[in-house]
């Protein structure tokens, strides 16, 4: 025997049933007698060993009845509190976890999940885009890695033959194409005559033109400050971005989407007058931004600009 079983007795109860009676230390440290039943001697000992093992695991603070969402939330909260991930990444992770949480799979303790349960769940998400499916699938693998390391499950079901590959989306991947030269010319003409509705405080035209002429992300443009525009060297210093945080909160992140995003973008002849115009029109604001929403007294999001671009187009 292994674990904390001190002594015990095995007896045949008749009708093919055996009973193993042992003394062991419960979770609270109290020595108690416990019986384990089985149809063979080995089955009794296996159940006793499993009980002792579970007691040891629970002493480490591991929840043996944890669900996949429980394990994922605990990990993501830890990573966020340790500053391993940004607020935006934490929020995205939690949104993906909610997809699992709302499904029947999310209600079953991971120790009770069978291969067919995961297979059914993966079939149910084939209506999602491939990008979303990949994120959900990776979270399932993460949950099982945690459960295996913590001793909650003995077998990692995500390594099973039927589950070792993620499903493919039933939807075709979207192909994003840039403007052709002719399309850009037509869009520019429409933008010139486009009249902003009275209820809008911003026309966002300068941001759209900067995006067209430089290739910068809109989140980077909306995070620009006057000191980022260096006319002497003819460069725009890109070092921050408008990001999404908890509960959809928009904020300025003092770093770009990737390390490579921190860069200098050349100021060409077409974008120079646009930048000069934007600086002249820049409203006074506590954040010191060139582009600022005076109505809501906050940063301008990409979706705000896109709504005008879509209307103009």
Burial of 297 (0-12, 13-18, 19+ CB in 10 A): exposed
Residue 4 confidence (pLDDT): 46
pLDDT band at 312 (very low <50, low <70, confident <90, very high): low
User: Is residue 172 pLDDT above 90, yes or no?
Assistant: no
> How many Å apart are CA 36 and CA 12, to the nearest integer?
12
Six-digit token string for 86: 């940004």
> How many Å apart are CA 149 and CA 138, to the nearest integer?
17
pLDDT band at 1 (very low <50, low <70, confident <90, very high): very low
DSSP string, the chain: --TT---EEEEEEETTEEEEEEEEE-TTS-EEEEEEEESSHHHHHHHHHHHHHHHHHHHTT--TT-BHHHHHHHHHHHHHHTTSS-HHHHHHHHHHHHHHHTSGGGGSBGGG--HHHHHHHHHHTTTS-HHHHHHHHHHHHHHHHHHHHTTS-SS-GGGSTTTSSPPPPSSPPP---PPPHHHHHHHHHHHHH----TT-S---HHHHHHHHHH---HHHHTT--GGGEETTTTEEEE--EEEE-GGG-EEEESS-SSGGG-EEEE--TTTHHHHHHHHHHPPP-TT--SS-BTTTTBPPPHHHHHHHHHHH-
User: Is residue 116 pLDDT above 90, yes or no?
Assistant: yes
Residue 69 confidence (pLDDT): 97
User: Is residue 70 pLDDT above 60, yes or no?
Assistant: yes
How much is the average pLDDT of 131-142? 97
Which residue is listed with tokens 């295996």?
A: 148
Six-digit token string for 251: 């904020």
Condensed to tens digits (0 to 9), the pLDDT of residues 247-293 reads 778 888 887 666 666 899 999 999 999 999 999 999 999 999 999 99
Residue 88 confidence (pLDDT): 83
- Whether residue 144 contacts residue 153, with contact meaning beta carbons closer than 8 Å, is answered with yes
User: Is residue 59 pLDDT above 50, yes or no?
Assistant: yes
> How many Å apart are CA 278 and CA 56, to the nearest integer?
65
Residue 148 confidence (pLDDT): 93
User: Is residue 56 pLDDT above 80, yes or no?
Assistant: no
Condensed to tens digits (0 to 9), the pLDDT of residues 184-242 reads 888 888 877 777 666 666 778 899 999 999 999 999 999 999 999 999 999 999 999 99
Q: What is the mean pLDDT of the chain?
A: 87
> How many Å apart are CA 281 and CA 279, to the nearest integer?
5
> How many Å apart are CA 243 and CA 257, to the nearest integer?
9
């Amino acid at each position: 025997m292994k674990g904390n079983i001190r002594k015990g007795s095995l007896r045949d109860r008749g009708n093919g049933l055996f009973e193993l009676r042992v003394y062991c230390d419960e979770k609270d440290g109290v020595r108690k007698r416990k019986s384990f039943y089985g149809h063979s001697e080995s089955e009794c000992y296996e159940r006793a060993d499993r009980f002792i093992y579970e007691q040891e695991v629970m002493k480490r603070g591991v929840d043996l009845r944890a669900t996949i969402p429980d394990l994922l939330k605990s990990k993501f909260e830890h990573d966020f509190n340790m500053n391993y991930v940004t607020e935006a990444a934490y929020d995205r992770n939690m949104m993906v976890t909610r997809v699992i949480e709302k499904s029947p799979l999310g209600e079953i303790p991971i120790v009770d999940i069978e291969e067919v349960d995961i297979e059914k769940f993966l079939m149910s998400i084939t209506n999602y885009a491939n990008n979303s499916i990949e994120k959900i699938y990776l979270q399932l693998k993460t949950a099982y890695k945690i459960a295996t390391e913590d001793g909650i499950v003995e077998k990692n079901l995500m390594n099973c033959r039927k589950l070792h590959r993620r499903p493919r989306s039933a939807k075709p991947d979207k192909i994003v194409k840039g403007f052709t030269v002719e399309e850009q010319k037509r869009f520019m003409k429409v933008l010139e005559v486009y009249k902003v509705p009275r209820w809008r405080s911003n026309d966002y035209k300068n941001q759209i033109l900067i995006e067209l002429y430089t290739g910068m992300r809109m989140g980077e443009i909306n995070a620009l400050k006057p000191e980022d525009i260096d006319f002497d060297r003819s460069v725009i210093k890109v070092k921050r971005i408008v990001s999404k945080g908890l509960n959809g909160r928009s904020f300025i992140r003092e770093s770009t989407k990737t390390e490579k995003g921190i860069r200098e973008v050349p100021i060409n002849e077409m974008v120079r007058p646009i930048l000069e115009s934007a600086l002249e029109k820049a409203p006074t604001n506590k954040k010191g931004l060139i582009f600022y929403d005076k109505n809501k007294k906050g940063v301008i999001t990409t979706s705000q600009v896109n709504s005008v671009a879509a209307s103009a187009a």
